[in-house]
């Protein structure tokens, strides 16, 4: 049998994950600045903790302009629940001030009119905004057909042979997106993250319950009961 191409393998992965979890429908997650700050808070913490920090910021400051003028100590207190508050508080304030210096206001909605590459490059000019954070803003605020790669996607893609063993997470953004049709990138992003959290965990992956086990060099010794596709 001919060797399966990476694009075909990625399509099989998506098909199986959709059967397992359902296909997600895109919905905006707030303004682009909301998504930017929320994504910064989500790094290396749980979704619940990052969401709690974002809620506390919005409840305390009412506008991003007010936050940009606030003392770092007050911002830090609000986001303590999200972790790394001493690093994130000055970073968030610096980014918001940078946006205001560029545009005259703390706003990112103008990016909706830009091409994804240009918009991502603009966001990555700010210290603390890498490819994943920039692309999350474009995907979740504007519905752009990009593919952010977080630690779950990076791990699962590596186990499935979609990435070389020594591929960096930065390079993974360049390699994975072309393997997934633009219309499927939102679904692929969310479904692989869900699978990485529930089944293909960093430690003790549940290979016996994995619908991708026969595609994965990590799980071939424990094939899923009904892989399908």
Q: Which residues are catalytic?
A: 132
Which ranges of the chain does DSSP label H, i.e. alpha helix?
6-21, 32-42, 47-61, 64-68, 72-78, 85-103, 116-123, 131-142, 151-159, 169-176, 185-198
Residue 198 CA from chain centroid, whole number = 16
CA separation for the pair 79, 51 (Å, rounded): 10
141 close to 114: Cβ distance less than 8 angstroms: no
d(CA 18, CA 34): 28
């Amino acid at each position: 049998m001919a060797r399966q191409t990476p694009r075909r393998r990625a399509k099989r992965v998506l098909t199986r994950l959709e059967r397992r979890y359902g296909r997600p429908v895109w919905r905006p997650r707030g303004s682009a600045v909301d998504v930017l700050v929320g994504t910064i808070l989500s790094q290396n913490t749980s979704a619940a903790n990052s969401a709690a920090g974002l809620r506390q910021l919005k409840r305390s400051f009412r506008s991003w302009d007010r936050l940009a003028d606030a003392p770092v100590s007050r911002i830090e207190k609000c986001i303590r629940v999200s972790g790394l508050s001493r690093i994130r508080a000055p970073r968030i304030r610096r980014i918001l001030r940078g946006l205001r210096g560029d545009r005259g206001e703390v706003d990112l909605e103008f990016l909706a009119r830009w091409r994804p590459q240009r918009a991502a490059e603009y966001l990555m000019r700010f210290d603390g905004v890498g490819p994943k954070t920039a692309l999350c803003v474009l995907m979740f605020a504007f519905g752009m057909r990009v593919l952010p790669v977080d630690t779950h996607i990076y791990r699962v893609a590596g186990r499935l042979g979609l990435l070389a063993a020594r591929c960096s997470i930065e390079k993974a953004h360049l390699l994975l997106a072309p393997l997934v049709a633009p219309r499927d990138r939102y679904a692929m992003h969310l479904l692989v993250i869900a699978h990485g959290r529930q089944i293909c965990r960093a430690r003790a992956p549940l290979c016996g319950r994995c619908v991708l086990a026969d595609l994965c060099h990590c799980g071939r010794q424990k094939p899923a009961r009904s892989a399908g596709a």
